[in-house]
Chains A and B, each alone.
Chain A
Amino acid sequence: MNHPPLIDIQHINYIYPARNTRTGEMQSITALQDVSLQVQQGEYLVLLGHNGSGKSTLARNCNALLTPTSGRVLVAGLDTSEKANQRTIRDMVGMIFQNPDNQIIATVVEDDIAWALTVRGMPVSLINERVSSAMEAVGIVHLRGLPPHRLSGGQRQRLAIAGVLALRPQCIIADEPTAQLDPLSRAGVVSLLHQLNQQHGITIIQVTHLLEEAALAQRIIIMEQGKLVMEGTPSSIFANLEQLRQLKLAIPEPIELVARLRNVGIPLSPEALTVEAIAQEIMP
């Protein structure tokens, strides 16, 4: 653990001005308050919190989309507040959002993935190679010639991921990537992120308000009112359901069931957090 962290957030505050709807006066809103966090290369981190807890603001501070009001953020040792570093930082730490359409620009799938490489002036042979491997990694090779609007929501989110992947980032931040998707495409996108983490060693920071999407993370951070309030492995976080409820997070029913069975003396492992693992635990 002596490697320097990929992302090193040191005591940051993020304050923005907003107009009070009643009085019309300008006031300061503190979205992040003294947040410190280190993300290691190769980690799978989930940032959890309800609406307005500050999780998206924190995520945007990780690749210089936002820069802290005070404190500093280092990405691979580079300060995000230095203008000269920002291009390099964004190539290293890519980002995808709730709505993939916000970052799809070309009229054909392949061209869209090639876009960022083309504007960086890469040679055609290199572009072709990277576009192919990005399409392969996210499983959309068969869609390469289609216009993006013919793709389903889940496929468009995969396309957005491929566009980021083609830049060979060390880290991908996914800000509620499943919020607009149907249940099955949702599960598909989450398992794709895990696959990129395990097979390609890409650091993943996944932002979500759903506990069930956090079950397979290496580490979970929970935010509330702009502060980090809980941190730990999934099994340690899920061990405290009462506190999660207070943080306005919905407890998945299977997890609730296991907790209640454990309360009446039935020995069930706290490591069992997915439906499959829980079934295995109840009926080995």
Chain B
Amino acid sequence: MKDSIIITKNLSHIYQTNQSGSLQKAALLDINLEIAQGSCVGIIGITGSGKSTLVQHFNGLLRPTSGTVIVNDIDVSAKNADLALLRQRVGMLFQFPEAQLFERTVYADVAFGPRRMKLSRHEIRTRVLNALDMVGLPHREFAQRPPFELSGGQMRRVALAGVLAMSPAFLVLDEPTVGLDADVRAEFYSYLQRIKQEKEVTIVLVSHDMAEVATLADWLFVLHDGRLVMQGTPRSIYTQGDTLRKWGLAAPPLSELLTLLRKKGLAIPEDVFMLEEAFTLLQRRPFISSPTNNSG
């Protein structure tokens, strides 16, 4: 395993639900995990499972009640942690990030973060233009336009560019495609794929949708009721549909289909879960019952 960029040890986070502190709710309980540098991981769980609470520890928005969180060699749990430095290294994109756009031009909006980092004018310019090109908004065409005239998908990519321009060591994306149409969603993911390949950046994707992270993530963490209940490669997780259902989750529909076919005795290897693989395998005749069996 490569070096870990994030390590949590016995991380717990307890909320007090009344003023005297006598009523408490554990949002996170004893989480131990490591995220490898340069990887793309998915954090999966239903609403209320603790996934947003967890990632808010990664940039110091929340501090652990007990346990430690080390991010990029910074101990977030320490009282004197350098949160300003931490937040430069951790780019965070919240749900509906287009709501955070506020400048008059796309350029100014993306430049906001780098300006706060007190970079040279030249450096800011280079970073902004690169970030815009990276998310498929060529700067010649988009830099001077008001962000609010863009489509929903484009606005989200402006927000992503704003995070990228700070050259973070890793990106945390909280349900980044909620509310987008299918084609726009696929487009957003294609740019994310490109960022993953071209930049040496670690990506943390938060989602309740297994299918959504299927193509991008190489490791998944499943949270339920504040606990880390399962982790592994998507391939290994998707074959455990029955277990996932206990936690209110569902494997992607194609994995569900393949699981059903395996139960019916079809010899499909456990690790097949992509459309292309399934097609290649199933189109071989012996797999499919002959037409004479088909009453039609």
Contacts and interface: CB of A to CB of B under 8 A. Distances in A.
Interface stretch (A6-14, A125-133, A161-169, A264-272): A264-272
Contacts of A200: none
Given A51-B152, A153-B47, A252-B253, 11 more contacts: A51-B179, A51-B181, A183-B210, A183-B248, A184-B249, A254-B254, A257-B278, A261-B279, A269-B294, A275-B257, A282-B261
23 contacts: A21-B148, A22-B149, A183-B210, A183-B249, A183-B250, A184-B248, A209-B182, A212-B253, A254-B253, A257-B254, A257-B278, A257-B282, A260-B283, A261-B288, A264-B283, A266-B282, A266-B283, A267-B294, A267-B296, A269-B296, A282-B261, A283-B266, A284-B294
Nearest to A153: B47
A249 B183 CA distance: 7
A264 B152 CA distance: 38
A209 B275 CA distance: 22
A267 B291 contact: yes
A248 interface: yes
Interface residues of B, number: 44
A192 B209 CA distance: 22
Interface string A85-119: 00000000000000000000000000000000000
A182 interface: yes
B248 A249 contact: no
A253 B209 CA distance: 14
A266 to B, nearest CB: 5
B96 to A, nearest CB: 13
Contact of B248 (A182, A252, A254, A260): A182
Nearest to A21: B148
A218 B293 CA distance: 28
Interface residues of A, number: 34
Given A257-B257, A257-B279, A250 B245 contact: no
Interface of B: 46-47, 146, 148-149, 152, 179-186, 208-211, 245, 248-250, 252-254, 256-257, 260-261, 264-266, 275, 278-279, 282-283, 287-289, 291, 293-294, 296
Contacts of B282: 257, 261, 266, 282
Contacts of A187: 250
Given A261-B279, A275-B260, A248 B182 contact: yes
Contacts of B260: 275-276, 279
A182 B257 contact: no
B182 A50 contact: yes
Nearest to B49: A182
Contact of B253 (A51, A184, A275): A275
A182 B208 contact: yes
Contacts of B279: 257, 260-261
Contacts of A205: none
Contacts of A283: 261, 264-266, 289
A21 B257 contact: no
A254 B283 contact: no
10 A-B pairs closest in CB distance: A250-B182, A253-B254, A279-B260, A183-B250, A182-B46, A283-B264, A50-B181, A254-B257, A248-B183, A248-B181
A179 to B, nearest CB: 9
Contacts of A57: none
A75 B47 CA distance: 38
Contacts of B275: 253, 256-257
Nearest to A181: B47
B181 A209 contact: yes
